[in-house]
Amino acid sequence: MSKTLDLAQDLIRRPSVTPVDQGCQGLMIRRLEAIGFRVERMRFGEVENFWARRGSAGPVLAFAGHTDVVPPGPLERWELPPFEAAVRDGILYGRGAADMKGSLAAMVTACEAFVAEHPEPQGSIAFLITADEEGPATDGTLKVVQALEARGEKMDWCLVGEPSSTDRLGDVIKNGRRGSLNGWLTVFGLQGHVAYPHLAKNPLHALAPALQRLCAEEWDRGNAFFPPTSFQIPNLNMGTGAENVVPGELEMQFNLRFSTELTPERIQGRIRAILDQHGLDYEIRWKVSGRPFLTAGGALVEAACEAVEKVQGYRPRLDTGGGTSDGRFIAPTGAEVLELGPRNATIHKANECVAVDELDALAAVYRQLLRQLLG
């Protein structure tokens, strides 16, 4: 059994559904302290986090990740128990196997092997680990980064272990992410009887022309790194429960995934302008889940691409697609940020899994990255 598989199984067997850690961080901390890391536990609210660092000189290469996982869902949909961490035909099954306890295990074992080779590396290695990535993400990486910034402690490079790969390990590296803006719109009409529409005002009818405009709007054309901004409606609700009543209001939640061509403020202004042009009576509230970030190039990009090529034999593709990650909290500090982890085909699904040889290869890629940047 490989050291990486052994540690990944120990982590998966701890049912650390957000924001509960269930001792996962303690397990990692013991391994890191044994190879010379100074560990600082950083609890905010109900969330356990830690910052670990080995060395005091720069540059600083940080590994970032999360020990929390999403709930397993209906257990009958799992072929093997989600927290048993069973291996079948060379595949490790369990909640968090790919997202992202496998990556955490690979990070730790890669550092153990690298420190054995290079007890005095040319810089510092760090870990930023949270138990609040899959949830609200308010008391996790964001708070740790704020604490580090307040005392002037910086990361030069940060590798996030999110599952970035598509068809084979390392074929895709995320070098940025789109921003995410949520809006909750309430449109007010006038409740009445459906047989007397002249005495009522249907909020959906009032919204429809503006909604058509919002769905057809070209927000931007993207750029070399990002696709065009997208507008989607996850939820739209209206009605009183009666079939003969025109409802008095409508609630709609929408989301925009936006590129570096736009800011949340510009998007909000354009949406308000469209709604106002159609004379709607409305209220709206906003939440910025994350601003876009991009590491277009630099030492980390080149080292990560070379590490994959040396271990796997092919050059990865840089990509910014997918959802948000905690990289959005780290990039504004000026650090170069990349995401590199296992294949993402089964994340958040029943029967989440990762190939055992993929875990070993991932540890080898991380180890090679350490050699190239700090060796």
> What are the catalytic residues?
68, 133
β partners of residue 257: 180, 230
β partners of residue 256: 181, 231
Q: Cβ(113)–Cβ(367) under 8 Å?
A: yes
- Evaluated on CA atoms 122, 333, 112, 353, the torsion sign reads negative
CA distance 106 to 31: 12
Of 316, 367, 371, 373, the closest CA to residue 107 belongs to 367
The CA-atom distances, in angstroms, between 158 and each of 176, 182, 215, 252, 319 are 12, 27, 36, 37, 17
Query: By three-state DSSP, how is residue 12 classified?
Result: helix
CA distance 85 to 93: 6
The secondary structure of residue 47, as a DSSP letter, is B
Listed in order, strand segments (DSSP E) in 249-331 are 249-258, 282-290, 293-294, 317-319
Burial of 117 (0-12, 13-18, 19+ CB in 10 A): exposed
Q: Listing from the earlier edge strand, what are the strands of the sheet with 282-290?
A: 230-238, 249-258, 179-188, 282-290
